[in-house]
Amino acid sequence: MKLAIAQINTTVGDLRGNAAKLLEFYRRGVEAGADLVIAPEMAITGYPPRDLLAKRRFVADNLQSLNELAGQIGKTALLVGYIEVNPQRPGKEYFNAAALLREGKIVAKRFKTLLPTYDVFDEDRYFQPAESNEPFVLNGRRIGLTICEDIWTEDYLPAQLYQRNPVEELLRGKGGAQIIFNISASPYHLGKESIRFHMLQAEAKKHRVPLVYCNLVGGNDELIFDGNSMVFDGSGNLLAEGAAFQEDLVVVDLDAPITPVRRSSPRKLSGQGEGGNHQSQVSSLQDALVLGLRDYVRKCGFKSVVLGLSGGIDSAVTACLAADALGPENVTGVSMPSQFSSKGSIDDARELARNLGIHWETIPIQATFEAYKTAFKELFKGLPEDATEENIQARIRGTILMALSNKFGHMLLTTGNKSELAVGYCTLYGDMAGGLGVIADVPKTMIYELARHINGEHHVIPEASLKKPPSAELRPNQTDQDTLPPYDVLDAILKKYVEESKSAAEIVAETKFDEKLVRDIVRKIDLNEYKRKQAPPCLRVTTKAFGIGRRVPIAQQYVER
């Protein structure tokens, strides 16, 4: 059996565009001599459709698209994900489904069994789980079809969540499967490629059957899908793999002798402690952010972006990612100096813009800031300047950038990192204003690693931006460490509290950090939930991002003792 894995980039809700892309890759698979072309989970609708499923016409239109697509399929079959209506009550309205199309007809349908409802997943909100699943026969082979979560084993899930094992049901049931297929929309986070590789390899070896895995690629809102489709033989040897972070058509003939793929590059195995290396993890992170930024901007209908350039490391990295994703001609960087801006910072921002070849504008804010202070002169009489005046400067800059966004149709990118967002070291309606937080899930320590990696490819970020102490430059001689602990300490606490759900006491025991410091950081994280709720969407690259995967009440008073 010759297979073509269509690792495609779909857009949520673009039924016509997704169908056209499916047909394009299907025809390429036919030209390659494939017996079957395999597409990702919900390839018709895009993933995740979320509350578009509340629009009944949307589901009906997805079924119409499926039927129209089936009419264009010939002898070579197409396996594709879509949404099916559940006619039974009680029960949820829909199934997360897959259809086998051949010779103008839908010849088989299968439904997803395990519906994840944790972290970024909400499938139990919409879908009914499959009660049973049987292999279908194609070209004399009994094929067991699973959809994404169905193939994940408990060793790799966050907890023992399910009582059923769909793969074992397919293999042990009547007419047991000879091959396992899995169509997925499995989102990326740091180290995910390695985790997924080892899990799939272990499943193939354990059950002694070939395993074919087709994953979505592309960015949809906060989520980034990395592709990395794979085919294993029954001994766990990797026979073929798709590209990372780009569309690909992977063709493999299971009946022909195949030399197992030798991973000469560790790049795909990028998880720490999972057989990869740290440098490959940073490279993977860069590719993920570029893909997520490009797709978010374009799928939202924008062609260009604007961002503030302070001369610091965060805005420098964001500008580099934007230039890579969209082309430097579609990026505008704006310097907005005040009396507190150092000449070095202004020069560093200008040098970065010149190195990248992006548009560059300078709009001083001092006169505007003085006008604000004059307006508040009587009301604030006798009160010392404090964070109020600092935040006014940030909000002036946010207003300027939003004006450029409105006037020229740019999307405004925020440049704050995860460390700052965690403890509220950011200004609502100021530096938090924008349409996308590109690096808002990247800790500050990793921002530096990303910057060094970018400079290793092309030296574009000024060395001074890497070496000088981070500063918001909102008052004389200000540095981040006036308010925050060193970033390596802050990031270690942040990872354990947010990503690993450790208590303050557990963090102190594990790290030996000062207890007062740890509790202060934890308190700041909890108190600033209201700020993060108003932040723009951020590209998810860690196991627990602020936003879609973390749902903490704002008005709550629980404090761990």
Distances (CA, A) of 352 to 309, 487, 528: 9, 24, 32
Identity of the residue numbered 449: E
Check whether 157 has a pLDDT greater than 90. no
Q: Which residues are catalytic?
A: 41, 112, 148
Residue type, 76: T
* CA 185 – CA 3 distance, rounded (Å): 19
- Cβ burial of 338 (10 Å; 0-12, 13-18, 19+) is middle
Q: Is 273 helix (H, G, I), strand (E, B) or coil?
A: coil
The answer, yes or no, to whether the previous bond of 476 is cis (omega within 30 of 0) is no
Contacts of 463 (CB under 8 A, 6+ apart): none
Residue pLDDT, tens place only, 38-50: 999 999 999 999 9
Where does 192-337 have alpha helices with state H?
A: 192-207, 278-299, 313-326
Q: What is the pLDDT of residue 279?
A: 76
**What is the mean predicted confidence (pLDDT) over 357-380?**
96
The pLDDT score that the predictor gives to residue 277 is: 67
Query: Rounded CA gap, 256 and 240, in Å?
Result: 13
Question: What per-residue confidence (pLDDT) applies to 164?
Answer: 92
Average pLDDT value over all residues in the chain: 93
Residues 489-501 pLDDT 10s? 999 999 999 999 9
pLDDT of 479 reads 75
Q: Is the confidence at residue 267, as pLDDT, over 80?
A: no
pLDDT at 269 over 50: no
Going along the chain from its start, the domains and CATH numbers come out as 2-269 (3.60.110.10), 283-479 (3.40.50.620)
- CA-nearest of 183, 244, 198 to 217 is 244
Angle at 227 between CA 224 and CA 230, to 5 degrees: 150
pLDDT (average), residues 383-411: 96
For the stretch 544-559, pLDDT in tens is 999 888 889 899 888 7
Which of the residue ranges 60-74, 324-338, 543-557 would you say has the lowest mean pLDDT? Answer: 543-557
What DSSP designation does 474 have?
S
Average pLDDT of span 104-110: 97
First to last CA, the chain: 61
Question: Could you give the C-alpha distances from 186 to 46, 116, 362, 418, in angstroms and in order?
Answer: 12, 11, 42, 23
- From 424, 426, 450, select the one nearest 524 (Cα to Cα): 424
pTM for the predicted model, two decimal places: 0.94
d(CA 507, CA 28): 53
